[in-house]
Amino acid sequence: PQCMAETPPEFCEHMITTVQPFDLPTHRHQNSSENVDPNEILELVHAWGHQHVGALGMELYNEQTGQLLCRTKPLYGTGDTPGNEAGFLVGIPPCVWGPPPLAPPPRIRRGDLLRTVARYNATVPRYGVMSLWLMDAARLLPRAKLEMLV
């Protein structure tokens, strides 16, 4: 929804949010021969937010702990060359974890709930706003699994 005319632009924001399991297949996509353990711990190594024009940014939270896992801020073009078109969303830098010098990957159970918060500029009407995350996770190596028990 568009903000009322007297709303200062810096306060004119539309927020959408959803909570979903980290990595549990849906019934219609689940392979019946594969059993998925909702308590299996995975390491989140890459999270890339996806939004459209008008986006102000996204946040990804662990719903159980409240921990902010990733925050993105879109990049808008400033020129007229391909890939830098003024006013168009031209990129969203991802959050990446790994070995040093990167931050260590967050460890998350497959069944843990994650909250997505997406923010859009609401100074003009926008229809069909959306957001989603593209994420990569890695299974723990056997040694890392043993360390989790200690």
From first to last of the 150 residues of the chain, give the pLDDT tens digit: 899 988 888 889 999 999 999 998 766 555 555 678 899 999 999 999 999 999 999 999 999 999 999 999 999 999 999 999 999 999 999 999 999 999 999 999 999 999 999 999 999 998 889 999 999 999 987 765 556 654
Prior bond to 93 cis, omega within 30? no
Residue 142, C-beta contacts closer than 8 angstroms, at least 6 positions apart: none
Predicted confidence at residue 5, as pLDDT, reads 87
How far, in Å, CA of 29 to CA of 119, rounded?
29
Q: Is 43 helix (H, G, I), strand (E, B) or coil?
A: strand
Distances from the Cα of 147 to the Cα of 16, 36, 42, 143, 150, angstroms: 38, 22, 14, 6, 5
**What pLDDT does residue 141 have?**
76
pLDDT of res. 150: 46
- Give the CA angle between residues 146, 95, 105 to the nearest 5°: 10
